């Protein structure tokens, strides 16, 4: 597992056509747009990318499209979690065949023994290193005790964890054990980096990747005052977004940038055109303040 995956990874917003099919043309333009900011790679088909709602064929096409579009020095992490574990195993093998650098997966439903068994099988069958997806808010029973997460991360071929939680003590313990840890909550990237996380994966990285890269670089230089100041500005943006249905809000902002991601598989949308316009106005105002502060 001699691979360097440290860095900033937008959780890719899967673009869809009006009839909810994967849109490769927009995906290629989106990844080009994100690469211009200097991101280290992307994380696809996770919660943000609605991977669990996409048909397997569409997920495979998504991986193939992005693998073809990424330069050799950029990394692709593929979420392969599925309702049936055999589907996850097949997606892992597909990701490896098409040039991905690592796989990831949310835990299955069930108790700790079920979760351990699943990750053990997935890690063993995968030709690529595995990034466990720790997200107790949506999978509260998967790791009933923190030690269970540590046990899973100690499995062979488990490189690390996408850590979407505010338990930074547990995050630090994983880092201390030599694991690669991606901070998962966008609003706490600076805190995660302070406690040893080696990168971040996030939804709002799509709409302001440069700022997250600035936080990452400030942390790498030990400039924690700057990292904290930028994080506070980022959190003002997140607070604005959370006033609206979150994922439709992200897609509306990307459309404003000229990248129409289409509808969500879930069907969720902004309540009205007036709501959309208000969102865009508020987003522009708060990001302008953030950009001004970043230059100070």
Q: Which residues are catalytic?
A: 133, 162
193's CB contacts (< 8 A; 6+ apart) are: 183, 200, 215, 216, 219, 227
Helix (H, G, I), strand (E, B) or coil at 111: coil
Give CA–CA dist 103/67, Å, rounded: 13
Whether 270 contacts 244, CB under 8 Å: yes
**Which H or E run includes 234?**
helix 224-241
Whether 11 contacts 48, CB under 8 Å: yes
**Which H or E run includes 79?**
strand 75-79
DSSP 8-class letter at 106: P
- Reading the block at residue 14, the tokens are 């899967």
Q: Which residues of 250-288 are buried (b: 16+ CB within 10 A; e: fewer)?
A: bbbbbeeeebbbbebbeeeebeeeebbeebeebbeebbe
- Reading the block at residue 166, the tokens are 């505010």
Give CA–CA dist 168/185, Å, rounded: 11
Instruction: Give the count of beta carbons closer than 10 Å to the beta carbon of residue 242.
Output: 11
């Amino acid at each position: 597992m001699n691979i360097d995956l440290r860095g900033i990874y937008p959780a890719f917003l899967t673009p869809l056509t009006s009839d909810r099919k994967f849109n490769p043309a927009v995906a290629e333009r989106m990844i080009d747009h994100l690469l211009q900011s200097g991101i280290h790679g992307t994380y696809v088909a996770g919660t943000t990318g609605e991977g669990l709602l996409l048909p397997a064929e569409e997920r495979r096409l998504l991986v193939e499209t992005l693998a073809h579009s990424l330069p050799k020095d950029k990394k692709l992490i593929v979420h392969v979690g599925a309702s049936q574990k055999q589907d996850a195993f097949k997606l892992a093998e597909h990701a490896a065949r098409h040039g991905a650098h690592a796989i990831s997966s949310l835990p299955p439903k069930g108790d700790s023994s079920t979760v351990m068994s699943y990750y053990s099988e997935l890690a063993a069958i995968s030709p690529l290193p595995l990034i466990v997806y720790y997200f107790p808010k949506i999978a509260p029973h998967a790791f009933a005790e923190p030690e269970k997460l540590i046990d899973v991360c100690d499995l062979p071929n488990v490189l690390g964890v996408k850590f979407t939680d505010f338990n930074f003590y547990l995050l630090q313990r994983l880092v201390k054990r030599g694991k690669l840890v991606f901070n998962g909550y966008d609003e706490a990237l600076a805190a995660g980096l302070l406690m040893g996380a080696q990168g971040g994966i996030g939804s709002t990285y799509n709409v302001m990747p440069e700022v997250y890269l600035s936080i990452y670089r400030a942390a790498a230089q030990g400039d924690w005052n700057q990292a904290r100041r930028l994080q506070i500005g980022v959190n003002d943006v997140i607070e604005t977004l959370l006033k609206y249905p979150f994922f439709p809000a992200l897609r509306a902002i990307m459309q404003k940038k000229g990248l129409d991601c289409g509808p969500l598989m879930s069907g969720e949308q902004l309540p009205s055109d007036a709501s959309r316009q208000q969102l865009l106005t508020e987003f522009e105002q708060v990001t302008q303040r953030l950009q001004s502060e970043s230059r100070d």
